[in-house]
Amino acid sequence: MFEYLKGEVVALHPSYVVIDVNGVGYKLLVANPYRYEVNNQSTIYVEQIVRENEQSLYGFYDLAEKQLFEKLTSVSGIGPKSALAILAGEDTNGVFNAIEAGDITYLTKFPGVGKKTAQQILLDLQGKIQTADKNTSSLSSTGLDLSANMELNDGLEALISLGYSTKDVKKITDKLKASDAKTADEYVREGLKLLMN
């Protein structure tokens, strides 16, 4: 129904952004909300998913990300939340390369993707997707120690909202604190690298 929304990003939350399009605020579930900036004009590609008891809009940084999301959600066992977790990494080419190389180990590092699901991804998508140039729970309730660094807190909360366990996120918190990351987006990217290793 929708291809993209163009407007001003007015709010960032751990699992979604709000974009104002001509006075209407749209809630878009996204892989990494901290890639966007508040008060910036943005074009966000969207996919509407309607289920028996809910309607959701999923947002994507570029068309390549949207197309990969559509491919992933066509695989049995991969829902929108798992697909977003897979897309939360730095680029879609890493996922593409893993699928083309048959790298089950890489794919099972994502939350919600076990060996069977990874094998299904390979079966359904290997040789059928193409790379594309890019257009270029609150924390306190999870038992994580809240830091004075709000950017770090936002990054940790985003990782949990992607489906990573609190236990796994706790394990990497000290490494994130010691990293050179300064923005929530950088903490999310660094956290994903650590969680994938």
Q: Report helix, strand and coil shares of the chain as percent, to nearest 5.
A: 45, 20, 35
The Cβ-side half-sphere exposure at 48, using a 13 Å CA radius, reads 8
Check residue 2 and give its pLDDT.
Answer: 85
Same domain, 56 and 77: no
Domain residues for the domain of 51 are 4-60
Q: What is the pLDDT of residue 147?
A: 52
Q: Is residue 132 part of a domain?
A: no
Q: How far apart are CA 55 and CA 57, in angstroms?
A: 7
User: Residue 74: what pLDDT?
Assistant: 93
Q: Is residue 143 domain-shared with residue 171, that is, in the same domain?
A: yes
Half-sphere exposure of 23 (CA within 13 A, CB side): 0
What does the pLDDT read at residue 59?
Answer: 96
pLDDT on residue 16: 96
**pLDDT of the residue at 102:** 92
Q: Is the same domain home to 146 and 114?
A: no
Task: Mark whether 147 and 190 lie in a shared domain.
Answer: yes
Residues 51 and 68 in one domain: no
pTM for this one?
A: 0.71
Whether residue 143 lies inside any domain: the answer is yes
pLDDT at residue 90, rounded to an integer: 58
Report whether 58 contacts 44 (CB < 8 A): no
Are both 52 and 8 inside the same structural domain? yes
Residues 70 and 85 placed together within one structural domain of the fold: yes
Same domain, 119 and 69: yes
| Residues 84 and 107 both lie in one domain | yes
Question: What does the alpha-carbon distance between residue 119 and residue 103 come to, in Å, rounded to a whole number?
Answer: 9
What total of structural domains would you count in the chain? Answer: 3
Q: Quick check: helix, strand or coil at residue 50? A: strand
Q: Do 52 and 96 reside in the same domain of the chain?
A: no
Residue 134: inside a domain: no
11 shares a domain with 53: yes
Q: For position 130, what pLDDT does the model report?
A: 59
Query: Does residue 131 lie in a domain region?
Result: no
Q: Of 17, 36, 60, which residue constitutes the final position of a domain?
A: 60
Contact of 45 with 22, CB cutoff 8 Å: no
* Average pLDDT per 10 consecutive residues for the chain, totaling 197 residues: 92 96 97 92 94 92 89 92 85 81 91 91 83 41 56 88 88 91 90 90
CATH for 45: 2.40.50.140
Provide the CB-side half-sphere exposure for 97 (13 A, CA): 5
